[in-house]
Amino acid sequence: MGEGLGVRDGRGVVSVTVNETLPLLVLASSLIPGLVIFSLPEERHGLRRAFNLTGAVLKLLFIAIMLWGVLHGESYVFRYSVLPGLELVFKADALALLFVTLSAVLWFFTTLYAIGYLEGSPHRSRFFGFFSLCVTATVGVAMAGNLFTFFVFYELLTLSTYPLVVHRGTPAALRAGGVYLAYTLTGGAVLLAGVVWLYGLLGQVEFTQGGVASTLGPEYAGQLRMIFFLLIAGLGVKAALVPLHGWLPQAMVAPAPVSALLHAVAVVKAGAFGIVRVVYEVYGVEFAQSLSLLVPLAVVASLTIVWGSLRALFQDDLKRRLAYSTISQVSYIALGVALFGPVGTLGGIVHLVHQGIMKITLFFCAGNYAETLGIHKVSDMDGVGWRMPWTTAAFTIGALGMIGVPPLAGFISKWYLGLGALEAGMPWVLAVLAVSTLLNAAYFLPILHRAWFRPQTAPWPAENIPMKNGRETAWLLLLPPLVTAAATLLVGLFAASPLSPLDWAKLVAAREYLNWAP
């Protein structure tokens, strides 16, 4: 394979190597099906499914090739000059592939789920078209090789998810969409201000091991602190850092597949991923520490962790409770980044994957309860475990994982975050983790108690899918949460195995801390 750079032949024609092409193919595998799906009539169900699933499978195949290549020292970089000194750059490094793999795997199962969930509903071509564009934007965010490319796809993500939030077209959905746009476009404007300011100082800002901001002299320290604040504030809107989180609970009026995508793969994860890139590969973690930027970030993340959990306690609407849980849980990623040391980095980076697997399980299950029995509130869940045992078993695994019960995925994340806090000399973070774990238990265990140990005392709000041959719901609704629940268990049980999310996170940590050997 080539080295990821185009080659000009004797006639002046630029040829593109295989290694350059693969990142583009990963983007195209959802972009092209999405554009085609927009043109399909509503009644072409089979063709729409074929485009969706073919694109999802091809994306997984292309990513598998790049995963193998990166493990063996290959480089995957594509560059396109937009203006002098301004390039679109796509780069599949270890950190990018961690996020891209999560996105592609969960997109496949969310597509299956969405096909079952939206069966018989109107505007499916529009939905799946924007659904594919949303995944394309997410993959673009993950593989962005510089700050300009990141910003372009970060804003495309906003525009492609808005139609999904307002898909139902109800007054509540339109209000939620307005709130979503107000927050995310304002955050985008703040982010743009930081990007332009930094480009004015440095020129092209590539994501580089050790960061590029440290090349500026000490006389720029004040400006760099202000730019850091702008970048984190802009990213913090999508990452739902307090007090920038208000859009997320409102967006829960969206269909369950959209909620799953927003929380596990796309919007909030893109914000958290951007914070990782800024700290490690724009500023560099050592330089950020020297500017005293990491402790304030850790404090904001900690406040968000506790505040989100406290708010979740008082939500009777199941999806809103899960939304506030997301506000809390995603900030574990920012907290791990802010802990100055490789072990804390491990905890934060691996939680990028673990939180996605656990949270998508919970939203799949919440969608099953709503679609099958009309259940939207925690107070309506008495005895639901015996009516929908497989769905509730999956929900139970996801909830216990969020609490941090060993050997589930959430325990691995919290374990390394705790060790990282001690390594960084920040023992107060242990108290944050302990309080958060207790609050996680306080808002998840009552749900499990109602589902398994309280008898049903009233008819279900609306039994839309009756029991048939012992099957609790449609198989396309049941299969995805069972798979992701099993993954929640397996990535915890086999965390020490080669190519586990934790093992891949060690590659990232070793890259950012050169003297550290995992």
Which position has the higher pLDDT, 408 or 5?
408
State the pLDDT at residue 3.
Answer: 39
State the pLDDT at residue 267.
Answer: 85
Residue 264 pLDDT greater than 80, yes or no: no
Which position has the higher pLDDT, 4 or 188?
188
Structure tokens at 304: 């968000």
Residue 514 pLDDT greater than 70, yes or no: no
Confidence of residue 1 (pLDDT cuts 50, 70, 90): very low
State the pLDDT at residue 12.
Answer: 41
Question: What's the number of CA atoms in the CB half-sphere (13 Å) around residue 55?
Answer: 27
Tens digit of each residue's pLDDT (9 = 90 or more) over 141-172: 999 999 999 999 999 999 999 998 888 888 98
Which position has the higher pLDDT, 40 or 78?
78
Residue 146 bridge partners (DSSP): 206
State the pLDDT at residue 17.
Answer: 81
State the pLDDT at residue 515.
Answer: 58
Confidence of residue 518 (pLDDT cuts 50, 70, 90): low
State the pLDDT at residue 168.
Answer: 80
CA distance 256 to 115: 12
State the pLDDT at residue 153.
Answer: 96
State the pLDDT at residue 253.
Answer: 76
State the pLDDT at residue 516.
Answer: 65
Using CA atoms, how far residue 19 sits from 5, 16, 74, 343, 511, in Å, is 8, 8, 8, 32, 21
If you average pLDDT over residues 292-315, what whole number do you get?
95
State the pLDDT at residue 394.
Answer: 97
**Worst-scoring range by mean pLDDT, 40-54, 141-155, 339-353, 439-453?**
40-54
State the pLDDT at residue 457.
Answer: 87
CA neighbor of 263 nearest in space, from 299, 308, 208: 308
CA distance 302 to 309: 11
CA neighbor of 334 nearest in space, from 357, 351, 309, 320: 351
Residue 385 pLDDT greater than 90, yes or no: yes
Residue 11 pLDDT greater than 50, yes or no: no
Residue 116 pLDDT greater than 90, yes or no: no
Residue 369 pLDDT greater than 90, yes or no: yes
Which position has the higher pLDDT, 445 or 41?
445
Residue 2 pLDDT greater than 50, yes or no: no
DSSP state of 5: S
Residue 9 pLDDT greater than 60, yes or no: no
Tens digit of each residue's pLDDT (9 = 90 or more) over 182-194: 999 999 999 999 9
Q: Nearest 5°: phi and psi at 129?
A: -65, -50
Residue 88 near residue 149 (C-beta atoms within 8 A):
yes
Tens digit of each residue's pLDDT (9 = 90 or more) over 202-212: 988 999 988 89
Give the mean pLDDT of the chain.
Answer: 89
User: How many other CB atoms are found less than 10 A from the CB of residue 386?
Assistant: 12
**Residue count (the chain):** 518
Using CA atoms, how far residue 149 sits from 90, 91, 139, 213, in Å, is 8, 10, 12, 18
State the pLDDT at residue 384.
Answer: 95
State the pLDDT at residue 139.
Answer: 94
- What's the chain's Rg over C-alpha atoms? 22
DSSP state of 375: -
Residue 412 pLDDT greater than 90, yes or no: yes
Per-residue 3-state assignment (H helix, E strand, C coil) for 210-243: CCCHHHCCHHHHHHHHHHHHHHHHHHHHHCCCCC
Residue 254 pLDDT greater than 90, yes or no: no
State the pLDDT at residue 8.
Answer: 40
Which position has the higher pLDDT, 68 or 169?
68
**What is the three-class DSSP state of 52?**
helix
State the pLDDT at residue 307.
Answer: 96
Residue 4 pLDDT greater than 60, yes or no: no
